């Protein structure tokens, strides 16, 4: 995932939207399929990103959005 993210940042500057590009992309979205390994990688990566953010200063902001209340700094 890190390699794909780095490649996207380095090489993906625009998303083509001319002609029927957007319609084609939206029509093909339901056709995407993934196995258990791919799904587990996405879920694990999201959990890892959440844990890293919460452990590196974003904890109070995350708690505020979850509870809607101001939380004391830890």
**pLDDT tens digits for range 38-64:** 888 888 888 888 888 888 888 877 776
Both tokens of 70, joined, read 């101001």
pLDDT at 70: 57
Query: How many C-beta atoms lie closer than 10 Å to residue 58's C-beta?
Result: 13
Give me the mean pLDDT over the 31-37 stretch.
82
Residue 74 lies in a domain: yes
Domain residues for the domain of 61 are 35-74
Residue 52 lies in a domain: yes
Backbone angles phi, psi at 8, to 5 degrees: -65, -45
Continuous H helices in 1-58 = 2-11, 21-28, 36-53
Residue 55 lies in a domain: yes
Query: Could you give the percent of the chain with pLDDT greater than 90?
Result: 0
Please count the structural domains in the chain.
1
């Amino acid at each position: 995932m890190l390699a794909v993210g780095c490649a996207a940042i380095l090489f993906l500057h625009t998303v083509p939207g001319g002609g029927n590009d957007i319609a084609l992309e939206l029509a093909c979205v339901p056709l995407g399929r993934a196995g258990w390994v791919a799904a587990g990688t996405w879920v694990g990566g999201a959990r890892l990103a959440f844990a890293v953010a919460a452990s590196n200063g974003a904890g109070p902001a995350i708690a505020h959005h979850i509870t809607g209340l101001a939380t004391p700094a830890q």
